[in-house]
Structure 1
Amino acid sequence: MIDPVTLLLYAAAIFVATVSQRVIGLGFGLVMGPVSAIVAGPIAAVPLNCIFAVIACSLMLPGVWRDIDWRRMTWLLVPAIPASVAGLLVARMVPTDALRIAIGIVAIAGVLVSVAFTRTSHTLDGATTRIGSGLAIGGFNAAVGVGAPLVGVYALVSRWEPRILAATMQPFWVILNLVTLAERQLLVPDGFPEWPWWAWLGASGAAVVGTLFAHRIAHRISAGVARWTIVALSVVGGTVVIVTGVIGLAGGA
C-alpha cells in the first residue's frame, strides 16, 4: 500500500524522470530506480519502473515520431529482448545488492571510457557495437531496472545526435519494458506492487504533466548540454546503484 503523502513525493519524482526521459532519451530508470525501491521495496521496484516507463514513453511518442531512427532502434532492441531473459535469470541466482554493485561499477567505468573516447576523432557504431550495447541494456534493465547508463555509453561512442536519440529511445523503452513485464510475470511473478486505483491514477497523471512540460522545453536544450547531461546522469545513476547495493549488503550483514 501507499499513503497520499508518499504518493505525492513519488509523483514528483515521476514528473522529473519524465522530463529527463523526453529531453535526452534516458533518465527515467535512473531517477525512479532508487525512489521505487524506497517506496515499494527492491523486488517491486523493477515492475513498477517498467509500468510507468511504458506509460511515460508512450505519451511521448506522438511528439517525437518524425525523429525516430527505426533502423537503429531495431539493432539495439533485437539483442536486448533475449538479454532481458538472461538478466531476469541472473537476478534470481545472484543477490540483488551484489548485482547492483557490479552493474554500477561497470556502468561508471563504461561512461568514463566513453568520455575519453569522444576526445578522439573516432566513431564506434558498427554491428558489433550495436548488438553488444543492446545485450547490455536489456540485461541490466531486466536485472535491476537500470539500463540507461549503457544507453549513455552507446550514445557517446557512436556520437548519436541527441535529438534523434531522445526520439528513438521512447519506442525502444516501451517495447523492452512491455517484454520485460511479460517475462517477469512468467519467470519472477512475485513482488508486484499492490496499490489502490487512485495511486496508479495519480502517478500516471504526473507522467502526463511531465510529458506536456518536457515537450515545451525539449527544443531549447542544445546538443552539447544534452551530451553532458547524459554523462552526468549515467555517472550519478551508476553511483546510486552502487550505494544502494552497499547499503543493502550492510543491512543484511
Structure 2
Amino acid sequence: MNTLILVFCVVVLGSSLQRVAGMGLGLIAGPILSLFMGPVHGVMVVNILAMINAALTTVTVRKDVDWRRFALIGSVMVLGSIPGAYLIKSMSTAWMLVAVGTVLLAALSVVTLAKRYVPATQATWPMMLSGVIGGFTNTLAGVAGPVITVYAQAARWEHKRFAATLQPLFVVSGGVSFAVKSLTGAADLSGTTWLIWPVGIAGMFLGVFLGGKLAQVITRDKAHKLALGLALAGGFSALLRGLLSL
C-alpha cells in the first residue's frame, strides 16, 4: 500500500511539472522509485508510466511537434538501449543505484552548469547522437530528456517545439527500453503488483489537470528548474544509497 501511495504522489508531481515544462515525470520518478522499488524494477515501471503519460500529452501538443527531428532522434534510440540493457544484466543492485544516480547527475550537470559552453550546431549527427545516448540513459536510469536538452540548446531549438517533440520521443524511448530489457532478460515486471498501473494512470490524469492549472500561475522556466532540482536531490539519494550498500 505504501508503494502505491508513493507511486501516485510521484506521478502526480512529475506529470504536472511535465505538463508545464515538457519533462518531469522521468526525472522525478526515476530516482525515487529506484530507491523504494529497486533500480531495475523502479526504472522499468518509470519507462512504462512515462510512455503512457507522454502519449497522452502528445495528443494535446501534436501541432507543435517537429516530426523530422522526432524521426531522426527516435529512430536511433535502440542503438543506445541495447548496451544499456546488457549493462543492467551484469550489475548488482548497489552498483545499479550508483549507475542510476551517476548518469542522472551527469546529464543534469551538463544541462544546468555547462549549457552556456555548448557550441551552436545545425548538423544532423549531434541530433542522432543525442538519440543514441538518450536511449542508453533512459534504459539505465529512466531519463532521456536531459541528453536531448543538450542538443536542443546547441541547435537553438525553439523551446515550445522542443518541449512538444519531447513527448513522442518519450513514448519511443519508454517503449524501446521496455522492449529491449524484456527481450534480453535484463528486467521484467513479474514481481510488480498490477495495482501500480491504475494508480499510476489516475495520478497522471490528476497531474495533467493540476499542471494545466499550474501553467496559469507559474512560468515554464520555474517549473523546469523545480523539476531539475528535485531530480538532482533524487540522483544524489540514489548514488549515496548505492555507495553505502557496496
1:117-166 residue CA offsets vs partner (Å, 9 max, x unmatched): 37xxx633321220221111111111222222213322322222222122
Is 1:22 paired with 2:16? no
- In the other structure, the counterpart of 2:111 is 111
**Partner-residue secondary structure (3-state), 1:194:** coil
2:62 equivalent in structure 1: 65
Contact 1:7 1:199 survives alignment (8 Å): yes
For the Cα contact (< 8 Å) 2:144–2:170, is it kept in 1? no
Aligned to 2:241: 247
Deviations 1:168-199 (A, max 9, x none): 11111112211211111111354526344444
The aligned counterpart of 1:84 is 81
- Mapping of residues 1-253 of structure 1, within 5 Å: 3=1, 5-94=2-91, 95-112=95-112, 114-117=114-117, 123-192=120-189, 194-218=191-215, 222=219, 225-226=220-221, 229-230=223-224, 233-234=227-228, 237-238=231-232, 240-252=234-246
Distance 2:72 2:196 in 1: 36
Q: Which amino acid aligns with 1:33?
A: G
Quote how far apart the aligned CAs of 1:234 are. Answer: 4.2
TM-score (norm 1): 0.83
Distance in 1 separating the partners of 2:9 and 2:228: 21
Deviation string, structure 1 residues 90-113 (Cα, Å, up to 9, x no partner): 232353134235424532442245
Which amino acid in 1 is paired with 2:111?
A: V
The one-letter amino acid of 2:206's match is V
**2: distance between equivalents of 1:231 and 1:124?**
25
Query: What CA distance in whole angstroms lies between the structure 2 residues aligned with 1:152 and 1:235?
Result: 16
Q: In 1, distance between residues paired with 2:216 and 2:127?
A: 27
RMSD over equivalenced CA pairs, Å: 2.6
Amino acid at match of 2:107: A
Distance 1:232 1:202 in 2: 24
| Counterpart code for 1:181 | F
The unaligned stretches of length 5 or more in structure 1 are none
> In the aligned structure 1, how far is the partner of 2:36 from the partner of 2:237?
17
- The answer to whether the 8 Å contact 1:54/1:178 transfers is yes
Please give the secondary structure, in 2, of the residue aligned with 1:74: helix
Percent identical: 24
TM-score by length of 2: 0.85
Distance 1:12 1:101, change over 3 A: closer
Does the C-alpha gap of structure 1 residues 75 and 234 become closer, same or farther in structure 2, counting only changes over 3 Å?
farther
Question: Cα gap change, 1:203/1:105 in structure 2, threshold over 3 Å: closer, same or farther?
Answer: closer
Mapped to 2, the partners of 1:84 and 1:107 lie a distance apart of: 16
Q: Which amino acid aligns with 2:245?
A: G
Q: What residue ranges of structure 2 are gaps of 5+ in the alignment? A: none
> Closer, same or farther in 2 for the Cα pair 1:77/1:240, shift >3 Å?
same
- Number of matched pairs: 243
